[in-house]
Copies of this chain bind each other. A is one copy, B any other.
């Protein structure tokens, strides 16, 4: 009855490179109005969420991704009370935000209700009950439209969207105009972070472009990156804000703030991890300077 793995998930990170996982079983599949979603159990990382063929999170290493996404930006606001999440369907972003007792309201705007509900049912390891927290409000609508209409202001915003692979409304969540709108919805010392694509050598165009897109909008632009094992590639993020620059905060101060402000035990992030994230190799800093272009509504960027 012995057998080798015979079902594999192939993620083409580029047309000529890929990363693959043996699939133990498929937990859930759905073609929603917006995308194809699937939750598979992989042999190496447990359950993973896959949207349109691209892996989003795994139960085994989601703590790397989501602690990296959430905590650096939370650290640079002195007292985040209201937080906005754009995208973030799994609820793991909310989970990390809710660790902050200062947070009184967390609004998540994710257009795809079916994905959110399926994650709520099938990926409790990721959200860990975050959706039931009374501080959380979830809206299923286009984030740009919602932002334009709202009068609410946020201390922190976290943008966790997949990069646009084709022309369409998703492109309009990656432009200077969108970030200008989002900046106007932040409080005085507000800051945002976003996932900003691979930082793999040779695939840095999108990351650098996001930097150039945010630069005219925010006084502080702090790119950072981390290797996500289940992606098979390092991944980039950018904190953009009106207040403190995360690169100016020493590791010991991060450790102190984590101890004072965050409930529960983190597994990835602390002062040393913070320095790891924001200390970029030379070639990556060079690429951020020399590559990319500002993305606008008139000239959107489509990945591949």
- Interface residues, chain A, CB within 8 Å of chain B? 1-12, 14-23, 25-26, 29, 34-36, 38, 40, 42-45, 50, 52-53, 60-61, 63-64, 165-166, 200-202, 226-227, 229, 232-234, 251, 266-270, 272-276, 279-283, 285
Distance in Å: Cβ of A168 to nearest Cβ of chain B = 8
Cα distance A229–B93 when bound, in Å? 26
* Chain A interface SS verdict (over half): mixed
Stoichiometry, as copies per complex, reads 4
Taking A4-B12, A267-B282, A268-B281 as known contacts, 20 extra A-B pairs with beta carbons closer than 8 A to each other, sorted by chain A number, are A1-B52, A2-B166, A3-B53, A5-B15, A6-B10, A8-B10, A16-B22, A17-B20, A19-B19, A44-B202, A45-B202, A63-B283, A268-B282, A270-B282, A272-B279, A273-B280, A275-B275, A275-B279, A276-B279, A276-B281
A234 CB contacts on chain B under 8 angstroms? 227, 229, 234
CA distance A25 to B26 in the complex (A): 8
Contacts of A270 on B, CB cut-off 8 Å? 282
Residue in chain B with minimal CB distance to A10 = B6
When the two chains form their complex, are residues B232 and A1 in contact, meaning their CB atoms are under 8 A apart? no
- The distance in angstroms between the C-alpha atoms of A53 and B1, with both chains bound, is 10
Max chain B C-beta neighbours (<10 A), residue from A6, A7, A10, A270: A6
**Inside 8 A of A12's CB, which chain B residues have their CB?**
4, 6
Q: Is the CB of A21 within 8 A of B16?
A: yes
Asked, given contacts A272-B285, A275-B275, A282-B267, whether A6 binds B4 with beta carbons under 8 Å apart, the answer is: no
Complex contacts, A63 vs chain B, CB 8 Å? 283
**What residues of chain B lie closer than 8 Å to A233, measured between beta carbons?**
227, 229, 232
